[in-house]
Structure 1
Amino acid sequence: MILRGVGRRYGLRGPWVLRGLDLELPARALVRIEGPNGIGKSTLLRLLAGIDAPTEGSLTDRPRTAYVPERFPAALPFTAAGYLVHMGRVHGLPTAEAAVRAQEWLARFGASGHARTPLAELSKGTSQKVAVAQSLLAEPDLLVLDEAWTGLDTAARDELDRAVAERVADGATVVFVDHDPKRLAGAADLAYRLEDRTLTPAADTPGDTGPHVRIEATGRPSAALPPGLPGAPVVERDAGNPAAVRLTTTAAHSDTVLHALLTARPPWHVTGLSQLPVPVPAPVPAAADGAAAGPMPRPAPGAVPADTAAPVPERPGPAGAVAPVRETGSRTARAVRPPVGVTTALIRYQAATLARSQRWLAPLLLYAAVLGVGVRAGQPLLDSLGYAAAALLPAAAWLVRLCVTQEPLAARTVTAAAVGPSRAHCASLLTGLGCALALGAAGAGIVLLISEPVSTDHTVAVPLLPAALAGLLAAGCSALLGTAVGALCARPVLHRHGWSLAATVLGALLALVTDGSPAKAAVTGLVSGSLTGTVRVPLLPLAGALAVGVAVAALTSRIAALRE
């Protein structure tokens, strides 16, 4: 992932937060971002995660990404496991695989007992565990952590340390910000300090604090250790037993070091593990080949172990403890499965959020009330179809506005990091449009059942099937225009709730009465055709409404990346 001359403003014309950033993030690297509060660290992480687009410069080669915000909202209408399954599908996992991984990560963070608990009932710490779990279950290639340890208990923090080390060992890039200067101290491959809107290299804090683990292993006499051991462990060899080696590393890197030893060719046999709770003074180490003394060189970011196709060690136990590791000979890597349709998964997630929140009830009741007042049994069919199509437009704008704004901002950033803000916004619009189309079809169906297929003066019979087609297409015009109105009158175009609501009402009214509006043309065609009993299928208005809807969706999706 490469940044060239990247800058970011507050808003579209506000002051610069970042300017002229050049940064290259290699694979298999842990990157720490430092700097005082309010300097723009979160803005930089949002750029790296793809939540925001740079105001200037370019950002290329972004891999599959997951993001953890500092504070994760609990105002989502799902259980913890239900939300994780939805996010797993959004990341491209099949439903069954997403469910299994959701349970695995909840168990690892000590939250399996809350799998069926609604998010709104979770404590701040448990909500943060869910936020961290959603970022890890899809095994992203880029993991961006913005104060992700905040709110976690000690055991969960240690588990996140281990999870970070695992992602780096598997070849991912992890970028993190944390207020604790001791967080993953000494483990970072790269460290940068953000000051005066620019990045400068920062020396990483030596990793001499926190618990350490001592690993004792034996192999062939004078056998070389695997190259690129994570965490740069201190290596000691026993002069009396050249087949034995002792490595001292941080607890966060212990699992990946064990993994590398057990999967080497030939493998090493682990004979002992012990935890060292206090910093260990670095002994005079022996080189990996038992010759010259000196510390193991730190692997360069992007270095690949000698063999990565090997068994994964068992998960660590409680905080600081290291569980025994199984030697199984060879590893079958977790298969990479073809992703499910991401847009489909996003629409399912948005639709489930809307359905569970019951916010759809208000526009539904509004539409039903308008139909109840204006449509009566025995009235001319085309008149009633035109009335139903006109009533649909404000209901569609309301539904789209709900879909665009229903996610709390922090949850929206998580979704945007997974798929990009433009696609996330488009999925919201498609969900609202789909709900509006379903509502319009239901309204047209009711009108067809209770209305008389005759002209306004009841003298000319109206063909039922062409009339039904014309009514459905007119409803489609209103749904598309309502989608455009809802998109233009909500986030990211208008952020203030009061202005947004007033603009939605005004926009829906103008779309119905303005000359040249596709919705007005479609409704007028039905009403005027009722006078003579002639059915006018609104193909041209439908094409115009489709063009307007696509243009507005493209425009607002672009704005979503710039000022979400």
Structure 2
Amino acid sequence: MILRGVGRRYGLRGPWVLRGLDLDLPVHTLVRVEGGNGAGKSTLLRLLAGVDAPTEGRVTGRPRTAYVPERFPAALPFTAAGYLVHLGRVHGLPATEAAAGAEEWLARFGAAEHARTPLAELSKGTSQKVALAQALLAEPDLLVLDEAWTGLDSAARGELDRAVAEQVARGATVVYVDHDPRRLEGSADAVYRLEGRTLVAARATPPRDPGPRVRIEATGRVPAALPPGLPGAPEVEYHAGNPAEVRFTTTAAHSDRLLHALVTARPPWHITGLAQVPAPAPASVTAASDRVAVQPMTAPAPDPDPGPGTAAAPAPDRVSGPARATRPPVRVTVALMRYQAALLARSQRWLAPLLLYVAALGIGVRAGQPLLDSLGYSAAVLLPVTAWIVRLCVAQEPPAARAVTASAAGPSRAHRASLLTGLGCALALGAAGAGTVLLISDPVSTHHTVAVPLLPAASAGLLAILCCALVGAAVGALCARPLLHRDGWSLVATVLGALLALVTDGSPAKAAVTGLVSGSLTGTVRVPLLPSAAAVVVAVTVAAVTSRIAALRE
């Protein structure tokens, strides 16, 4: 990972916090960052973790990253294990592997008995152990620790020291800040100090020798499907003559876990050979002429969301070492949406907009009323409700928790996932409302003189609901962070924006609702195809703009 001419302002136009930073982060390196209070250490670590994007300059070769903030919030409606499973999935792990990793790291930090304890009931030290577990269970290529030892007991601090050594030994790069000058004293390969908004090399040494590795030869069933998430991200080679024979090469620290994963896999692998090798072989070169090297387990994983000012292509010999297979973007987005939906459901913030929607339908929709009028009314009511729900989803995470999520998946993708979650919840609510209207309303015109065809009317109503939900999502996105941070201004803007979207000429939502109401006068069904297409364009544009700003401005 390389930083060139990187600078960062407070906000979009505020004073410079950092400027003119140049930094190379080799693989297999422990880096300490020093500096006085207010020097910008946390800002630098957020830039390295991908939580923020630089105001100027470039960041290239961003690897898979995990971040531990200085203060991890307890105000999350999950148990410790439940939160870790969600974050493990956001990091790209299967649910079973995330659960196993959560159990292992909580046990290592002496917090196993708190796995089923709600985060809000944990002490500061135990909350910090959860923050460490979410970063370490992912086995990232870049681990960023911002005062991560703060609040830990002596046993947990020693365990974190060992965990850092293990991460470096397997090929990761660890960058840390700590107020104790003796923290990992003598272990750091490079020490940098922030002075006058820039970075000065206090001490730098060549990357350490990775040391010996262990080579495991095993036989599986044909075809030899690799178990998911093998520990240590081993190099994998298939035998050219027998595809069931596979050679795994990993660090000595991960060899026992890799052996256990192979023999306990379903179906299990048969171990045929075990040997120690002095140094890692190049990933594209085989050790014998009868083997064909493959790299699905060692290929560098590109940044899932590079963000502004970031180039995704990794630089040679930088932080892009042994890594898991590239995470499919759709799978990461689904994991983020699952996390956001669980956060919304458990927090019960959904209750107020739901009651508003139900009350509005109860007042404005009656049995026997004209169908198109009722569908138009239910679509119009859904717009401000959608804006409210989206605003809740965007702002529901505490800042430190949001930084952890942004580091794991990228700030832009995390923001888009929150928008999609809010839109999905609103669409489900709107579909339920439309179903109720279809059941109790009469398929007739306003004056009960003309029969209205039910299927076209239902199609028109559902499209109007989709149109209003999309416009409402755009209003909610524009009236929340990263554009508006103060709750008071955000609430006022949401109310005014929803009102304007319903009454302003040219608004897709007004066009769709007006088409239903005016069609009810004559009994003519007007399917709002053009307003729906316009609403899609508006929603996609707003989502793209706000997601990009989310990486620039917290």
TM range (shorter): 0.7 to 0.9
CA deviation profile, 1:408-428 (whole Å, cap 9, x unmatched): 000000000011100000000
1:346 corresponds to? 336
User: Aligned partners of 1:311 and 1:556: how far apart in 2?
Assistant: 43
1:94 corresponds to? 94
User: Aligned partners of 2:212 and 2:61: how far apart in 1?
Assistant: 32
Q: CA deviation at 1:136?
A: 0.5
User: Aligned partners of 1:167 and 1:535: how far apart in 2?
Assistant: 64
For structure 1, the residue ranges without an aligned partner over 5 or more in a row are: 206-226, 231-259, 266-306, 316-327
2:307 corresponds to? none
* Distance change >3 Å, CA 373–CA 262, structure 1 → 2: closer
User: Aligned partners of 1:56 and 1:388: how far apart in 2?
Assistant: 47
User: Aligned partners of 2:138 and 2:95: how far apart in 1?
Assistant: 12
Q: CA deviation at 1:339?
A: 4.0
* Distance change >3 Å, CA 339–CA 55, structure 1 → 2: closer
Q: Secondary structure at the match of 2:254?
A: coil
2:7 corresponds to? 7
2:548 corresponds to? 558
Correspondence 1:150-161 to 2 at 5 A: 150-161=150-161
Do residues 542 (structure 1) and 510 (structure 2) align?
A: no
2:305 corresponds to? none
- Paired amino acid for 2:112: S
2:124 corresponds to? 124
Aligned residues of 2:7 and 2:54 also touching (Cα < 8 A): yes
Aligned residues of 1:311 and 1:331 also touching (Cα < 8 A): no
User: Aligned partners of 2:459 and 2:214: how far apart in 1?
Assistant: 66
Aligned residues of 1:311 and 1:330 also touching (Cα < 8 A): no
Instruction: Return the match for 1:530 from 520, 525, 528.
Output: 520
CA deviation profile, 1:415-467 (whole Å, cap 9, x unmatched): 00011100000000000000011011011000000000000011111111111
Q: Secondary structure at the match of 2:200?
A: strand
Correspondence 1:270-349 to 2 at 5 A: 308-310=250-252, 312=254, 329-330=274-275, 336=324, 339=327, 341-349=331-339
Correspondence 1:244-259 to 2 at 5 A: none
* Distance change >3 Å, CA 375–CA 543, structure 1 → 2: same
TM-score for both structures, normalised by structure 1: 0.79
Correspondence 1:185-204 to 2 at 5 A: 185-203=185-203
Correspondence 1:44-63 to 2 at 5 A: 44-63=44-63
1:254 corresponds to? none
Aligned residues of 1:145 and 1:176 also touching (Cα < 8 A): yes
User: Aligned partners of 2:19 and 2:473: how far apart in 1?
Assistant: 36
Q: Secondary structure at the match of 1:203?
A: strand
Correspondence 1:22-33 to 2 at 5 A: 22-33=22-33
* Distance change >3 Å, CA 114–CA 314, structure 1 → 2: farther
Q: CA deviation at 1:308?
A: 3.8
Instruction: Return the match for 1:518 from 490, 501, 508.
Output: 508
User: Aligned partners of 1:190 and 1:228: how far apart in 2?
Assistant: 11
For structure 2, the residue ranges without an aligned partner over 5 or more in a row are: 217-248, 258-272, 278-296, 298-321
2:37 corresponds to? 37
User: Aligned partners of 1:443 and 1:122: how far apart in 2?
Assistant: 40
Q: Provide the alpha-carbon RMSD of the alignment.
A: 2.1
- Paired amino acid for 2:526: R
2:482 corresponds to? 492
Correspondence 1:380-391 to 2 at 5 A: 380-391=370-381
2:421 corresponds to? 431
Q: Secondary structure at the match of 1:176?
A: strand
1:374 corresponds to? 364
User: Aligned partners of 2:415 and 2:275: how far apart in 1?
Assistant: 44
Q: Secondary structure at the match of 2:203?
A: coil
* Distance change >3 Å, CA 344–CA 504, structure 1 → 2: same
Q: Secondary structure at the match of 1:516?
A: coil
Q: CA deviation at 1:558?
A: 1.0
1:110 corresponds to? 110
Aligned residues of 2:214 and 2:255 also touching (Cα < 8 A): no
User: Aligned partners of 2:354 and 2:36: how far apart in 1?
Assistant: 49
Aligned residues of 2:5 and 2:57 also touching (Cα < 8 A): yes
Correspondence 1:433-472 to 2 at 5 A: 433-472=423-462
Aligned residues of 1:185 and 1:204 also touching (Cα < 8 A): no
- Paired amino acid for 2:354: L
Q: CA deviation at 1:203?
A: 3.2
- Paired amino acid for 1:26: P
CA deviation profile, 1:89-117 (whole Å, cap 9, x unmatched): 00000111111111011111111100000
User: Aligned partners of 2:421 and 2:215: how far apart in 1?
Assistant: 50
Q: Secondary structure at the match of 1:127?
A: helix
Correspondence 1:132-143 to 2 at 5 A: 132-143=132-143
Q: CA deviation at 1:336?
A: 4.3
CA deviation profile, 1:254-295 (whole Å, cap 9, x unmatched): xxxxxx568499xxxxxxxxxxxxxxxxxxxxxxxxxxxxxx
User: Aligned partners of 1:65 and 1:365: how far apart in 2?
Assistant: 40
User: Aligned partners of 1:8 and 1:142: how far apart in 2?
Assistant: 21
Aligned residues of 2:213 and 2:251 also touching (Cα < 8 A): no
Aligned residues of 1:263 and 1:311 also touching (Cα < 8 A): no
Aligned residues of 2:68 and 2:404 also touching (Cα < 8 A): yes
- Paired amino acid for 1:351: A
User: Aligned partners of 1:395 and 1:28: how far apart in 2?
Assistant: 50
User: Aligned partners of 2:384 and 2:511: how far apart in 1?
Assistant: 16
CA deviation profile, 1:134-171 (whole Å, cap 9, x unmatched): 00101000000000000111111111111111111111
1:473 corresponds to? 463
Aligned residues of 2:30 and 2:190 also touching (Cα < 8 A): yes
CA deviation profile, 1:175-209 (whole Å, cap 9, x unmatched): 0000000000011111100010011111389xxxx
Q: Secondary structure at the match of 1:33?
A: strand
* Distance change >3 Å, CA 343–CA 538, structure 1 → 2: same
User: Aligned partners of 2:483 and 2:213: how far apart in 1?
Assistant: 55
Q: CA deviation at 1:338?
A: 6.7
Q: Secondary structure at the match of 1:183?
A: coil
Q: Secondary structure at the match of 1:312?
A: helix
Q: How many residues align?
A: 461
- Paired amino acid for 1:479: A
CA deviation profile, 1:24-62 (whole Å, cap 9, x unmatched): 101110010000011100000000111111111101110
